[in-house]
């Protein structure tokens, strides 16, 4: 709930967003604040060039804290998937649902739900793109969810 | 350090595994400790045991933290120092290593290591939620990915890359259930058929209910000492000759490979190097079959077969009780049960029985070298230990 009460980043479509992008701390919370703005962001080390997803406050390749945010296009391909029948309580109303691991540009990866495709039509290697929920969970940690859908 | 024993196991204990209503962690551990004490009459526990390291994953189950001294009290070990070690399902594999460090440092001469978990009094939904805490919260849990889901992602990738089949996975379950019928302490002492396993309810496709290990109550322990002191306590010590542990990203998605656990490979390589042996020197192994695909991947990570050939190794019967390399003679996590914190030292207990020819109906004839492979979470922790008889 604390997260939800914090002011959201400055308007998505103004120049100020870039400014916000440069100053947001390199945390998972910042990642999800960008998701609430329909943006998929990763960290990049200004010293060694490593791209870091999930974002971390220190480059785990060269230990530099000289980082910047980069925006990913959200296009990717499916590396593996499963269909979950026995779900945790808060997901039971959605079961069965499909989740997968998606390789994004430059080899970065995220797991997520795959929506808008029948389980029998899912294939490893298929092209997907990111989507963003419009509502934000009220439950801690009150992040907006992203998901994947056919490209 | 090659071939030189690190420490010696002079006794071991295991509680009954199963649904043990009204028995909680402290009583379960006391049950295991009692067996270890009875097996070793030359040991005076209160006098000789100098410290306790107890693996335990979750205080949520019993709303009981501060596990170390609680367990020490019920095991009759007060006022000796006692700490809980937490590494998810590898908690007691890590506790065994803590005990090895304690002995090798010279700080202690005799220590008890073990693990315990009480799980069956909670609903399946609650247990699923507690276990999920060992996965990545912000990206895996937050997206509805369960533990069976993580191993299912590995299974799908393994099937796609190497042609591993659902039937090969089901064969792991059939084998381990058979072995479990020979273990009076196993949770589910019941044969299953391939047809039944394949037709069972889907949990996270391609994994079905018979691909999953059990929610179980249980405790396990070992008594360790310096190899030079072992003969003071027993004529049949088992020596730990290799110990490896490694870490990987908590999130499966962060790892380069989905079909292998790098932490397990590295832990295995360290343990083999320390022990001065090769995979084909292993006579019997207990591996972390939290899901059937995990046993197939373990074969490959431990070098029991080539990469991608784990399903074939199972199919060829090599790892059956009467095969060339019996794996999980105890029944494994699949049928002996998986009280998560207890599993690492429960594997060591089975190896101890095997190497001292006390495994009765499931005895692997002439076993001299054993191995245990204990994994935490989806592979962020792995502990591998190698043992040999005296």
What is the three-class DSSP state of B89?
strand
**Beta strand spans in chain B (E):** 7-14, 52-55, 82-85, 110-117, 202-205, 207-208, 218-225, 238-247, 284-287, 369-376, 381-389
Residue of A nearest to B202 (CA): A85
* Percentage of chain B lying above the pLDDT 70 cut: 99
Phi and psi at A2, nearest 5°, equal -55, -45
Residue A150 C-alpha from the chain's centroid: 16
Mean pLDDT, range B21-29, rounded to an integer:
98
Interchain proximity B139–A111, CB inside 8 Å: yes
Per-residue pLDDT of chain A (151 residues; tens, 9 = 90+): 334 444 444 444 444 444 456 689 999 999 999 999 999 999 999 999 999 999 999 999 999 999 999 999 999 999 999 999 999 888 999 999 999 999 999 999 999 999 999 999 999 999 999 999 988 778 889 899 999 999 9
Which residues in chain A are contacts of B253 at CB distance < 8 A?
101, 109-111
Contact residues on chain B for A97, CB-CB shorter than 8 A:
144
What pLDDT, in 10s, does the model give residues B146-178?
999 999 999 999 999 999 999 999 999 999 999
Find which of B124, B125, B129, B149 to mutate to test the A interface (most A CBs within 10 Å of its CB): B149
Determine whether the interchain pair A88/B129 forms a contact, defined as Cβ–Cβ distance below 8 Å: yes
- Residue A127 makes CB contacts below 8 A (sequence gap 6+) with A75, A76, A77, A150, A151
Predicted confidence (pLDDT) per residue in B234-278, tens digit: 999 999 999 999 999 999 999 999 999 999 999 999 999 999 999
At residue B125, the pLDDT reads 84
Under 8 Å between Cβ of B32 and B114: yes
What does the alpha-carbon distance between residue A64 and residue A45 come to, in Å, rounded to a whole number? Answer: 7
How far apart, in whole angstroms, are the C-alpha atoms of residue B172 and residue B150?
18
Indicate the residue of B142, B156, B254 with minimum beta-carbon distance to A82: B156
**Which residues of B are known to be catalytic?**
89, 338
Contact B261, B268 (CB under 8 A): no
Whether ipTM exceeds 0.90: yes
CB A62 within 8 A of CB A80: no
Q: Which pLDDT belongs to residue B119?
A: 98
Q: A143 and B142 in contact by Cβ < 8 A?
A: yes
From A84, A89, A94, residue closest to B204, measured CB to CB: A84
Q: Spell out the alpha helix ranges (H) of B194-342.
A: 194-199, 230-233, 262-275, 292-301, 310-315, 332-335
Considering only CB atoms, which residues of chain A are within 8 Å of chain B?
Answer: 28, 31-32, 54, 79-91, 94, 97, 99-101, 109-113, 119, 124, 141, 143, 145, 147
Residue A5 has a pLDDT of 41
For residue B343, CA distances in Å to A103, B94, B303 come to: 34, 11, 22
Residues, chain A, total? 151
pLDDT of residue A150: 97
């Amino acid at each position: 709930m604390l997260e939800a009460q914090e002011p959201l980043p400055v308007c998505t479509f103004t120049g100020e967003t870039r400014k916000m992008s440069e100053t947001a701390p390199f945390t998972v919370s910042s990642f999800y604040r960008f998701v609430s703005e329909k943006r998929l962001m990763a960290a990049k080390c200004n010293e060694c060039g490593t791209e870091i997803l999930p974002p971390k406050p220190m480059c785990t390749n060269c230990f530099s804290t000289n980082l910047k945010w980069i925006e990913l296009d959200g296009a990717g391909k499916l590396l593996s998937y499963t269909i979950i029948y026995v779900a945790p309580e808060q997901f039971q109303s959605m079961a069965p649902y499909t989740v997968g691991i998606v390789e994004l540009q430059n080899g970065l990866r995220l797991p997520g739900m795959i929506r808008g495709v029948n389980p029998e039509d899912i294939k490893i290697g298929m092209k997907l793109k990111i989507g963003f929920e419009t509502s934000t969970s009220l439950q801690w940690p009150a992040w907006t969810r992203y998901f994947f859908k056919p490209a | 350090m090659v071939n030189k024993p690190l420490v010696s196991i002079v006794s071991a204990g295991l509680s009954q595994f199963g649904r043990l209503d009204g028995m909680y962690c402290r009583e379960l551990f006391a049950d295991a400790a009692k067996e270890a004490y009875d097996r070793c009459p030359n040991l005076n526990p209160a006098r000789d045991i100098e410290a306790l390291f107890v693996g335990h994953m979750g205080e949520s189950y019993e709303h009981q933290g501060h596990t170390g001294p609680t367990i020490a009290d019920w095991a009759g070990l007060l006022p000796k120092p006692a700490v809980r070690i937490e590494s998810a399902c590898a908690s007691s594999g890590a506790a065994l290593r803590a005990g090895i460090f304690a002995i090798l440092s010279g700080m202690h001469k005799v220590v008890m290591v073990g693990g315990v978990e009480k799980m069956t009094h909670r609903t399946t939904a609650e247990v699923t939620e507690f276990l999920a805490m060992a996965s990545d919260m912000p990206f895996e849990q937050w997206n509805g990915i369960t533990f069976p889901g993580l191993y299912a992602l590995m299974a799908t990738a393994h099937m796609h890359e190497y042609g591993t089949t659902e039937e090969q996975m089901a064969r792991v379950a059939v084998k381990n259930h058979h072995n479990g019928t020979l273990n009076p302490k196993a949770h589910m002492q019941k044969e299953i058929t391939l047809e039944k396993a394949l037709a069972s309810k889907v949990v996270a496709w391609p994994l079905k209910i018979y691909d999953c290990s059990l929610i179980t109550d249980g405790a396990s322990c070992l008594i360790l000492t310096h190899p030079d002191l072992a003969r003071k306590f027993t004529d049949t010590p088992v020596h730990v000759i290799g110990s490896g542990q490694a870490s990987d990203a908590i999130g499966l998605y962060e790892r380069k490979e989905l079909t292998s656990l790098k932490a397990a490979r590295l832990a295995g390589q360290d343990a083999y190097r320390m022990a001065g042996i090769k995979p084909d020197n292993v006579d019997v192994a207990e591996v972390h079959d939290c899901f059937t695909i995990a046993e197939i991947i373990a074969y490959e990570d431990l070098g029991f077969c080539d990469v991608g050939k784990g399903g074939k190794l199972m199919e060829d019967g090599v790892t059956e009780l009467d095969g060339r390399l019996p794996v999980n003679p105890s029944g494994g996590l699949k049928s002996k049960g998986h009280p998560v914190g207890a599993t690492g030292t429960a594997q060591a207990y089975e190896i101890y029985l095997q190497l001292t020819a006390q495994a009765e109906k499931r005895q692997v004839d002439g076993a001299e070298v054993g191995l245990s492979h204990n994994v935490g979470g989806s592979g962020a922790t792995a502990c591998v230990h190698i043992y040999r008889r005296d």
